[in-house]
Structure 1
């Protein structure tokens, strides 16, 4: 039976067409765009969708109109309205990623768009419109910005912003490209190759960019404290995805950065305004074979319900994705093959990924978006393809996963050129749905139709700004107990691949008919227990006040 069905063509999302360079994918910039965010921008309780768009070299040269991003307002019952122009969020730059965070604590969701060129910060005006305040506030990052994340790393109650940098790419000095290699008189050895076939160049051989941490000051402007906080990445790794997380559970937000073709970085918050990079000693820099991988996307979640967050990283084809189990005290072990994610992910080139309990049994499963960067793989007997299926892995509750078969005609059976992935309960039926942003194609809107799912509860957390917790509660952790099962969910901005999941915390309860205990650790480190009278609904919890609706 189908788990997900594709509803795209029945909605306004079918009118969106992503575009990123030419079909041949001659340059690395043409193959990696496509973040997506799900959030409630207008406060009506419905989750809305923002799709990042790419661009073209010709548009950057001013010779054609650039593609436009799109914001779709959720009207309910799987109906969406394109409100891009009304909201003023078309971007019209070469977009890469998006991260949502209410940086000014006014109760309206703002969002950062990482671009190639100059990035944007869209401030929510609270009336259905946005204003780009990136230049005014000091976060108009130049260069190649990718998967950003919001988080209050210094405990002042104001959200700060981390932005990874990818490649120092100059459109006025383009590297050799595969289309040129096909012309008469060209020598193949002068071009970048994959298995003897000319392909786009990079990231290896290209200069990497550093990363940027913007600290928010009391006046609402931001200052670049990348060097002072030790997260500037002087090595110039190729940054793709990031998230502020509680890696060692000391109430301070740490930071993980997933890099392409270079080691991953884990920054532990020292509590004095600086971080210590511990990627190697923690065990997350490399895989179990001691190799760097082409890290793309990032999922953060406690898959084995031991109370600690684990990391799942997507990688290039001809390599496996990697699952890092959190052993405690900031130490991680690569358990990829033991968990069933080794050979099964080898043919796929992974991007967006997320831990999600698709069947509401109380254990987090994994959804992964895939798609190659080399169109030339089609027609070759290499065991991979350019368009690829989504992967869904069911959690077997014993630290192992199994791939869920793709029912014919279902969303899991589609061949997609996927990049960004975000999830949310888009119709309020208690089951998590999703959106995939596909490069050079329309997006894929997937509805969860899994049969026999368990009970559930969803929590919207609101922090107390007066107590130095960000209002959207980024950095909060909820622990929910039913019987012997204790689950954990974290409020996180960013992650996946250049994307942003709905920040309402969704818990599957299985056959449980009540919540035995709910503990919330707020961003300021304070804890409180909350009585939960009902299940199978979404509840709003205000710090210090309990359930308010």
Structure 2
């Protein structure tokens, strides 16, 4: 039996310091540089609203991916009762954000209605990204054809999209399969007697099959029962076994006898939930979104779980056997509970949705974004509930900078994404709001929108497996070393709140001018080290001796 050494220090990106009081991280002035975000959705051509009846109180996702092969990230926005929209990115390097609406890209108006979220994924290994749509009703798999066009591929794939109220998605490539395993998380079964109370729907797992011509198919689903009204799911290798499990975050508002879940998904065998006898601890939250990152680079991911009230940050227990999923909550110690609004007069509890770890100020430390917003008009929760931007500090804690950075709008956030839309090395922010226009923030760094200025050096890395299954290397780990510091990030499909992205992965480098990059491929093999200069867009193909570079215009 292997036990993990107790960690009395907080370790961020391989640098450890003594744990300070949580008071230093909640409401303190950030010692890390604060980026300046400027909202410019309308000027950038983004005019879209997620709206609808109570079925659309949840959802409101955005898929961020390159749909036309120019390497710039485009956006697909869920609309609820409104038709979903696809926007092509026309932004020039370092310029103002600029998008154009793609008016006819394949699906009809009926298929683009009732969309709650979307995730990009290369389902058929043709190296063109496809799109999985989560809907109130039949879920759809859109096959990418290039030039931002798609075909509805459900029939061709033998995929039954069902009739459920689907709110979550994740995908992985299981050992021995050339095509992805798909997991769909469902919310309330509206047709069950007594709905919505105690009528959570089961979730579904689809494993790939093969047609006579060798093409992929998804002939039948496996029920993951019981389901407890999931709002975020993620395939994750929580114990470094090389075999991802399925983490499920559930909304306690409607379930009876439910809890957060972790499912073992052994390849070729039936999934099974971890139980108390396996070490899994009973936890009930209003689970809305999952964000995963390895904060201390020990190989075991931490998980931020958004909820109504305080956000959780789970870390494998110091004293536990690493094969047992026993977690401790370190959110208070690190200052990221984000349990009530940080500005304004409303002191009622917050409502958290999408969460995402990124480095928004390029200092080499992970930061945490949380989309916030009242479900609709719940009187016991904050009405003015602005989004959080918690910047990582060298003390190992986090500091709230939402107001100082310019993102504290009076809107009800849902899904979101942080990505560099204009290729300037600064992560921009898109937030889908309920019953209000989408927010699009340009990151001006230490400057202004007229004169942006960098906060630190950076690296943007795209990982590919050309000619192989799993072309986008889902399940790979990117390791970036500068000096004696290392940060890592996994390539995952899932988590967040109804929102996903695939493409370049962003790393802040601080003052470092070079970095050594290694890739742990999905099968566990490591690449050799690629030595690259900072402030570059790097493409690493499996088996290639040298990295390629992209020079945006």
Q: TM-score, normalised to structure 2's length?
A: 0.82
Counterpart check, 1:153 vs 2:174: yes
Aligned partners of 1:113 and 1:119 also within 8 Å:
yes
The counterpart of 2:392, out of the listed 395, 418, 425, is 395
Q: CA deviation at 1:332?
A: 2.7
Q: CA deviation at 1:16?
A: 1.4
Q: CA deviation at 1:448?
A: 1.6
Aligned partners of 1:304 and 1:363 also within 8 Å:
no
Aligned partners of 1:299 and 1:312 also within 8 Å:
yes
Counterpart check, 1:265 vs 2:265: no
Distance 1:212 1:337 in 2: 34
Q: Which residue of 1 aligns with 2:50?
A: 18
Secondary structure at the aligned position of 1:358 is classed as coil
Secondary structure at the aligned position of 2:514 is classed as coil
Q: Which residue of 2 aligns with 1:45?
A: 71
Secondary structure at the aligned position of 1:368 is classed as strand
Output one character per residue of 1:439-475: Cα deviation in whole Å (capped at 9) or x when no partner: 1121011122232522111110002444xx4001111
The counterpart of 1:104, out of the listed 109, 117, 124, is 124
Q: CA deviation at 1:285?
A: 5.2
Distance 2:476 2:35 in 1: 34
Distance 2:410 2:149 in 1: 35
Aligned partners of 1:264 and 1:284 also within 8 Å:
no
Distance 2:162 2:402 in 1: 43
Q: Which residue of 1 aligns with 2:382?
A: 384
Give the alignment of 1:50-129 within 5 angstroms.
50-55=76-81, 67-77=82-92, 78-88=97-107, 91-129=111-149
Secondary structure at the aligned position of 1:533 is classed as strand
Distance 2:56 2:68 in 1: 32
Q: Structure 1 residues 358, 2: CA separation in 2 closer, same or farther (over 3 Å shift)? A: closer
Q: Structure 1 residues 333, 444: CA separation in 2 closer, same or farther (over 3 Å shift)? A: same
Q: Structure 1 residues 338, 93: CA separation in 2 closer, same or farther (over 3 Å shift)? A: same
Q: Which residue of 1 aligns with 2:329?
A: 334
Counterpart check, 1:309 vs 2:301: yes
Q: Which residue of 1 aligns with 2:27?
A: none
Aligned partners of 1:247 and 1:268 also within 8 Å:
no
Q: TM-score, normalised to structure 1's length?
A: 0.82
Q: Which residue of 1 aligns with 2:7?
A: none
Q: CA deviation at 1:512?
A: 1.3
Q: Structure 1 residues 397, 279: CA separation in 2 closer, same or farther (over 3 Å shift)? A: farther
Q: CA deviation at 1:383?
A: 6.3
Aligned partners of 2:363 and 2:509 also within 8 Å:
yes
Q: CA deviation at 1:421?
A: 0.9
Distance 2:194 2:430 in 1: 33
Q: CA deviation at 1:344?
A: 4.2
Distance 1:542 1:332 in 2: 36
Counterpart check, 1:144 vs 2:165: yes
Q: Which has the higher contact order (CA 8 A, sep 6+)?
A: 2
Distance 1:4 1:142 in 2: 40
Aligned partners of 2:133 and 2:140 also within 8 Å:
yes
Higher mean alpha-carbon deviation, 525-534 vs 349-358, is at 525-534
Aligned partners of 2:316 and 2:328 also within 8 Å:
yes
Q: CA deviation at 1:398?
A: 3.8
Q: Structure 1 residues 465, 526: CA separation in 2 closer, same or farther (over 3 Å shift)? A: farther
Counterpart check, 1:324 vs 2:314: yes
Counterpart check, 1:223 vs 2:219: yes
Distance 2:436 2:518 in 1: 43
Secondary structure at the aligned position of 1:164 is classed as strand
Give the alignment of 1:335-374 within 5 angstroms.
335-342=330-337, 344-345=339-340, 347-374=349-376
Secondary structure at the aligned position of 1:54 is classed as coil
Distance 2:85 2:172 in 1: 25
Q: CA deviation at 1:496?
A: 0.8
Whose helix proportion is higher, 1 or 2?
1
Secondary structure at the aligned position of 2:125 is classed as coil
Aligned partners of 1:93 and 1:117 also within 8 Å:
no
Distance 1:530 1:152 in 2: 25
Q: CA deviation at 1:30?
A: 3.4
Counterpart check, 1:422 vs 2:417: yes
Secondary structure at the aligned position of 2:407 is classed as helix
Q: Which residue of 1 aligns with 2:274?
A: 278
Distance 2:301 2:186 in 1: 25
Secondary structure at the aligned position of 1:135 is classed as helix
Counterpart check, 1:533 vs 2:532: yes
Distance 1:117 1:405 in 2: 36
Aligned residue-pair number:
481
Q: Which residue of 2 aligns with 1:245?
A: 236
Distance 2:281 2:287 in 1: 10
